[in-house]
Structure 1
Amino acid sequence: MKNILSVRRLLFGVVVSSISLLSFSVSAHSPVCNCYNDEEGENQIICEGGFSDGASAEGVAIRVLDDRERVLINGVMSEDSTFTFARPDADFHVVYDAGDSHQVTVYMDEIE
């Protein structure tokens, strides 16, 4: 009986430790994205993406949507973790989509 309780306590400790480590690693890999007006290109917007742990955003999907959620522009982040596009005439927002629970939305009024 003592052995069973010891094993249960040990397993409980392992499970709690695993969950703690998992939650730490998830929070250490948060997506980040910032968009700004290109000073050199007229009506061009540059978005820079990445992750809080410094990981590259190369290949991460990025979409420019109108206010009805219709896709205006589809693309992916380049090798240097950027995406450049022409400013749409209509209201828009940018969605940096790195997968489940890893989306960042940048609204047009946040772009400087």
Structure 2
Amino acid sequence: MKKYIISLALILVSPAAFSHTALLSCFDEGDGTVTCEGGFSDGSSASGVDFHLKQDGKIILSKKFNELNEVSFEKPKGDYSAVLNAGEGHEVTIKSSDIN
């Protein structure tokens, strides 16, 4: 019985052990635009993954990462957040104050 419970526990935990973490990096291009690069810790592509800009709690821009795992946009005035949204548990947010 103990072996059965341990085996069942390993089966249930295994998907979490093999999950990947979403990654997002953004940088100011110095010309009024920002580029963000997305991906996953296991090397998976972010191509086609949703990207949003949020300002005052509202989405002001929605795009998808391109085949190079990048999104570029004109830098909005004021504070904003860049968000990679690959679904539940796979969302990363970067505040504009952290973008250099």
TM-score, scaled to structure 2:
0.92
Any idea what the Cα deviations from partners look like across 1:44-63, whole Å, max 9, x if unmatched? 10000000000000011010
Q: State the secondary structure of the residue aligned to 1:34.
A: strand
Q: Could you say which structure has the larger radius of gyration?
A: 1
Residue 37 of structure 1 aligns with an amino acid whose one-letter code is D
Aligned pairs, number: 100
Gaps of 5+ in 2: none
Structure 1 residue ranges (4+ consecutive) displaced by more than 6 angstroms after TM superposition: none
Q: State the secondary structure of the residue aligned to 1:53.
A: coil
Q: How far has the Cα of 1:89 moved from its partner?
A: 1.1
Per chain length, whose mean CA-contact separation is higher, i.e. which structure has more relative contact order (CA < 8 Å, sep 6+)? 2
Compute the RMSD of aligned alpha carbons.
1.2
The equivalent residue for 2:38 is 49
Structure (1/2) with the larger helix percentage: 1
2:79, 2:97 within 8 Å by CA — same for their partners in 1?
no
Q: Percent identity?
A: 25
In the alignment, the residues of structure 2 paired with residue 63 and residue 36 of structure 1 have an alpha-carbon distance, to the nearest angstrom, of 15
